[in-house]
A and B are shown apart, each in its own frame.
Chain A
Amino acid sequence: QSALTQPASVSGSPGQSITLSCTGTSNDVGAYNYVSWYQQHPGKAPKLIILDVSNRPSGVSNRFSGSKSGNTASLTISGLQPEDEADYYCSSYSTSISLLVFGGGTKLTVL
């Protein structure tokens, strides 16, 4: 069982905006602004798309944005495109002995 909770699957239509959630505790998501998001296409390595809650690495589309409220972080994808279909994982730095925790991932399907 993963430390952070993500919905197993979400779906959306091209052009739509969709938000993925990542729920933790006051020891991780709620403790710091240190949440990251990764996108993973089948058979590929994960790709960092958001760090420190809302910062996009160079080269990542501005259709991806991150936010946080309390113990829940969110990833919003606007203008959904077919190539956005992938697995999305969140992670957070933690005050616990675990140091770094991941979510179980959300499978995004673009209908």
Chain B
Amino acid sequence: QVQLQESGPGLVKPSQTLSLTCTVSGGSIREGGYYWGWIRQHPGKGLDWIAYIFYDGFAKYNPSLQSRATISMDTSENQFSLNLASVTAADTALYYCARVYGSGSRAFDHWSPGTLVTVSS
């Protein structure tokens, strides 16, 4: 059973870079057929996808965040990461990492528990 766990600071200052890492267990991120992605949820709001990446480094970004977001992989550690630059209070949200079907719906089928990141000075 694939499990994901995000890690990173829960508090980030405005204008700084938010950095999160997702560690995958019970499966390899090199497994074909899946992307690995990040989604966020503002408090009391809906879901927004941020980016997803294939093990070969091919990545897709939500156009609304593309200029500030970078997703990367470390296959040796079975991890993938998100950097979000120049954060503001509007980036305060619950951040999830997830496995993504590589075709069809791009459905997120396994999720991390989620981590709250607050942007505040």
Question: A103, B112: Cβ atoms under 8 Å?
Answer: no
Question: A98, B62: Cβ atoms under 8 Å?
Answer: yes
What class of interface size applies to chain B in its complex with A?
A: 20 to 34
A111 at the interface (CB under 8 A from B): no
User: Which 4 A-B residue pairs are closest in the complex by CB-CB distance?
Assistant: A51-B107, A45-B111, A36-B107, A34-B105
Residue pairs across A and B with CB atoms within 8 Å: the count is 62
A48 touching B107 in the complex, CB below 8 Å, given contacts A38-B47, A102-B49: yes
Q: Which residues of B contact A84 (CB under 8 A)?
A: none
Question: A89, B112: Cβ atoms under 8 Å?
Answer: no
Which of B's residues lie within 8 Å of A, judged by CB? 45-49, 60, 62-63, 96, 101, 104-109, 111-114
Which of A's residues lie within 8 Å of B, judged by CB? 2, 33-36, 38, 45-48, 51-52, 57, 89, 91-93, 97-100, 102-105
How far does the alpha carbon of A16 sit from the alpha carbon of B62 in the complex, in Å? Answer: 38
Question: A102, B46: Cβ atoms under 8 Å?
Answer: yes
A89 touching B47 in the complex, CB below 8 Å, given contacts A45-B111, A46-B111, A98-B63: yes
Q: Closest CB of chain A to B42's CB: distance in Å?
A: 11
Question: B63, A105: Cβ atoms under 8 Å?
Answer: no
Tell me the nearest residue of chain A to B111, going by C-beta.
Answer: A45
